[in-house]
Amino acid sequence: DAKTTQPPSMDCAEGRAANLPCNHSTISGNEYVYWYRQIHSQGPQYIIHGLKNNETNEMASLIITEDRKSSTLILPHATLRDTAVYYCIVRVASGGGSNYKLTFGKGTLLTVNP
Amino acid sequence: GAGVSQSPSNKVTEKGKDVELRCDPISGHTALYWYRQSLGQGLEFLIYFQGNSAPDKSGLPSDRFSAERTGGSVSTLTIQRTQQEDSAVYLCASSLEGRSGELFFGEGSRLTVL
């Protein structure tokens, strides 16, 4: 069952901010939002995660709406190397059972253009 | 290096042969996952190991697939009597206990069954 909805593709100009949206309207109170990306021919790479507060690290910023039904991943100054498929995933932060699995959807193919 | 190491990086085999794929997780990571990714497709969960607990094998597509993790470290994914539909990139990931949403992936093993 799909828990997140992302646009299949987006374009961004090099040096500009890339804003990648994700809808997760059925998110539960104990579920976090995780973002990964997969550059062509490489394994996925963890980017950032958050619960309800906005988060920032050296790679990106994560903005989560107050109702937590959607979020936006922001790459402040996109480079050509940021061209990748970006996955938005919701799941509990830790714990056993089937909830631990990260289920990857189809993601958004971000193409950064020169 | 300190990342997840997988071998072989490429494997070409004939239909009906058995193959073994190896994963060396990051030292100290207690959780280990196997995923596979067919050409142009998303990531498909296969199996999960966490410490000394019984592995979750719910994602294995058939009884031709098996995996083990020896000493809580290195894991081997074995595919018996390979079929052409087994052709895919097999990705291994590991994570720290308590941070199981932050997976570190290897570069994958590309399997081609002729």
A103 in Cβ contact with A36 (< 8 Å): no
Over pLDDT 90: what percentage of chain B?
72
Q: Maximum CA pair distance of chain B?
A: 41
Flag if A44 and B58 touch (Cβ within 8 Å): no
Both tokens of A56, joined, read: 């920032």
d(CA B112, CA B34): 17
Q: CB distance from B25 to chain A under 8 Å? A: no
Where does residue B49 rank: exposed (0-12), middle (13-18), buried (19+ CB within 10 A)?
buried
What pLDDT, on a 0 to 100 scale, did the predictor assign at position B17? 97
Question: In this structure, what token pair is assigned to residue A93?
Answer: 């932060």
Q: What is the per-residue pLDDT for B15?
A: 97
* Mean predicted confidence (pLDDT) in A6-34: 94
Dist CA B47 CA B56 (whole Å): 6
Measure the CA–CA gap between A6 and B84, rounded to whole angstroms: 31
Please state the rounded mean pLDDT for residues A8-34.
94
- Reported confidence tier of residue B20, pLDDT bands at 50, 70, 90: very high
pLDDT at B26 over 70: yes
What would the mean pLDDT of B12-21 be, rounded to a whole number?
Answer: 98
Strands A108-113 and A9-13, sheet pairing: parallel
CA distance B66 to chain A (A): 18
pLDDT reported for residue A95:
57
Residue B81 Ramachandran class (φ > 0 left, ψ -120 to 50 alpha, else beta): left
**Greater model confidence, B71 or A2:** B71
Residue A44 pLDDT greater than 70, yes or no: yes
Q: Say which range, A92-101, B4-13, B94-103, has the weakest mean pLDDT.
A: A92-101
What is the average pLDDT across A21-30? Answer: 92
Q: What is the pLDDT of residue A97?
A: 53
Checking if the pLDDT of A56 tops 80, the result is: yes
From B43, B50, B107, residue closest to A42, measured CB to CB: B107
Distance from the Cα of A77 to chain B's closest Cα (Å) equals: 24
pLDDT at A93: 62
Nearest to B87 by CA among B3, B2, B15, B4: B15
User: What is the C-alpha to C-alpha distance for residues B55 and A33, in angstroms, rounded to an integer?
Assistant: 25
